[in-house]
Chain A
Amino acid sequence: MDLAQPVSGIPFLITSTIKVAVMFGVVFLAVTYATLAERRVSAFIQDRLGPNRVGPFGLLQPIADGLKNLLKEESFPNSASRFYFVLGPMLAMTPALVTFAVIPFAAPLPTSWGVVDMIVADVPIGVLYILALSSLAVYGIVIGGWASNNKYAFLGGLRASAQMVSYEVALGLSLIVVLMLTGNVTLTEVVWKQQQLGLWYAFPLSLGFILFVISAFAETNRLPFDMPEAESELITGFHTEYSAIKFSMFFIAEYAHMITASALMATLFLGGWDLPGTWDNAFWYGGSLISGFDAQGSPIMATPALWKTLLTFASFVAKTGFFVLLYIWVRWTLPRFRYDQVMHLGWKILLPSALAYMMIVASTILILDQIGIIYGFTYGLVLTAVSILCTLAFVFYLDRGRIIEGAAVQKNGVIKKNPVAGN
């Protein structure tokens, strides 16, 4: 097959430029529409309708909002540090947008110049790049909070740094199981290995999935972990002093983070753009695009097609959308944790659980490799069984230890302090 060659030379530059431009546009559009989704879904949850006036179903609302924020007067607090005050929102927004570059969003697309990978930059350090850049985002928040010279903003920035650092640890550790099973940090390979396993990692690594979702919520400062904002305590935390487009940039950063985290969760644990079946599998192996291996271990060539690319792209969008919806749904359901509860959850529950789970998965993988089970569906099933046990143990522990109730328990008409809670 002549066409099953990767694009190179000038066509590579052209296709890459197009991919960058399109990706940037699509992510930006997704961000603006995530704000609309947030408002509409929150309205539906509260039995309201939400914004439905601007355009059909309110679809032009984000544009109206953006325009309004662009035209609004910018204010600079007198005592703010002007340079860092402007730098803050920029630093917050940029990492959120560039992380999308390494996430594969569809099956390779055949063109007359060769096969184009549906990923902006297939860098070999994929996951590390995302971890490095997403933790940069906290600088924007901290600098913005500090430069405002406002107590609330400052406290918000402080909390953001503490929270980000704590949850980065749990996030990284829950990721390690994925990397162990994949044997690589490239996201294209993560997708490929999930296709090979015949199971999305959410099943064989279910506890890792749960821990990752919880840490990702904390990483993106979304409720129930929105300590840096915490409206009822800190007004709006780090962006209290911001207005107009600078506020908008913080807002965009938050939603871009949310979408990137959703895409990452979809890629790492729900198979990325993969759809059930082997028809869409594609991976660069020894210079040619293959869809799998036959019984003798020799590669089967893949046949990329436009419809495959479109279908897999739709699947990627659906999975990402599901997580975005989950983010919004959780935000409008769960109340905010107290600051000490957030820290407790991060350091005393998520971190040890992730460590223990990592050990269990590592030993299982080692045993499976030692007794000679080939990486495939059976391999995945064994891991699934082990992970379900781990998840049950985790849930049991969480459920047993953490009981909530009012400040006092009424018993036989007498209000008593709860002896179990201890305080």
Chain B
Amino acid sequence: MAVTVKSMHRPDPGRTSYLRAALKGMFLTLRHMVRPHKITQQYPEEQTELSPRWRGTHRMEVHADGRPKCVACGLCPTVCPANCIRLIGGEDDQGNRYPIVYEIDEFRCIFCGMCQEVCPVEAIHVGRDFENAEYSRDRFVYDLDRLMNADYPVTLLWDPEDQKSE
């Protein structure tokens, strides 16, 4: 999406009388005062539609049987520029790797989305959610259960073929 510059062609103001200019201004503000269209968004009741590529709070995808899709390969903690992912992997009897500890510190996270991009099994995702206020600081370290139980939609990865994500 290219940045566009809008150049304003204002008419040459020339010279104008203060009195007339002031009256004109008064009428302008009056018009806006009585205009019913207000741009304020009544936030909690009225939600903004987030972009499909909005990168917010993480979520972990799960298999149908409830296990996390994560294979504890260790790519996400490696790629994470903010170093906010803590991962300790384990292996079960069949030799399947799984995360024993998977924690994301949402305070340190910079929501770059590189964990989602790097994940080979599409397990960790950034989500389309931003309402993650908490009453205490330690609640901001999300553990595996919390990441798996998240209910918000996941972010769509950027696709060079579809620049506007349509």
Q: Do chains A and B stick together as partners? A: yes
Question: Does B19 lie within 8 Å of A46, measured CB to CB?
Answer: no
Question: Does B29 lie within 8 Å of A333, measured CB to CB?
Answer: yes
Known: A395-B19, A399-B20, A404-B16. A47 touches B29 (CB 8 A): no
B18 part of interface (Cβ distance < 8 Å) = yes
Question: Does A404 lie within 8 Å of B32, measured CB to CB?
Answer: no
User: Shortest CB–CB separation between residue B126 and chain A, in angstroms?
Assistant: 31
Question: Which chain A positions have C-beta within 8 A of B20?
Answer: 399
Question: Does A403 lie within 8 Å of B35, measured CB to CB?
Answer: no
B1-20 contacts to A, CB under 8 A, are 12-20
Question: Which chain A positions have C-beta within 8 A of B67?
Answer: none
B26 part of interface (Cβ distance < 8 Å) = yes
Question: Does A44 lie within 8 Å of B18, measured CB to CB?
Answer: no
User: Shortest CB–CB separation between residue A75 and chain B, in angstroms?
Assistant: 29
How far is B17's CA from A45's CA once the two chains are assembled, in angstroms?
A: 23
Contact of B15 among A44, A49, A409 (CB under 8 A): A409
Question: Which chain B positions have C-beta within 8 A of A402?
Answer: 17-19
User: Shortest CB–CB separation between residue B111 and chain A, in angstroms?
Assistant: 29
Using an 8 Å CB-CB cutoff, how does the interface string of A82-93 with B read, 1 for contact, 0 for none? Answer: 000000000000
Stretch touching chain A among B36-44, B99-107, B115-123, B157-165: B36-44
Question: Which chain A positions have C-beta within 8 A of B34?
Answer: 44
Using an 8 Å CB-CB cutoff, how does the interface string of A384-423 with B read, 1 for contact, 0 for none? Answer: 0000000000010011001111100110000000100000
How far is B39's CA from A403's CA once the two chains are assembled, in angstroms?
A: 35
Number of A residues contacting the other chain (C-beta, 8 Å)?
24
User: Shortest CB–CB separation between residue A380 and chain B, in angstroms?
Assistant: 27
Which of B16, B22, B26, B33 has the most A CB atoms < 10 Å from its CB?
A: B33
Question: Which chain A positions have C-beta within 8 A of B28?
Answer: 333
User: Shortest CB–CB separation between residue A51 and chain B, in angstroms?
Assistant: 11
Known: A399-B17, A409-B15, A410-B12. A49 touches B26 (CB 8 A): no
A72 part of interface (Cβ distance < 8 Å) = no
Question: Which chain A positions have C-beta within 8 A of B12?
Answer: 410
Question: Which chain B positions have C-beta within 8 A of A410?
Answer: 12
User: Shortest CB–CB separation between residue B45 and chain A, in angstroms?
Assistant: 11
How far is B68's CA from A35's CA once the two chains are assembled, in angstroms?
A: 56
4 further contact pairs, Cβ within 8 A, besides A47-B38, A404-B16, A405-B14: A44-B34, A402-B18, A403-B17, A404-B17
Interface residues of A (CB under 8 A from B): 41, 43-49, 329-330, 332-334, 395, 398-399, 402-406, 409-410, 418
A-B pairs with beta carbons under 8 Å apart, 6 shown: A43-B38, A45-B29, A47-B37, A329-B29, A333-B26, A418-B15
The 5 closest A-B pairs by CB, nearest first: A49-B40, A333-B29, A405-B15, A44-B33, A45-B29
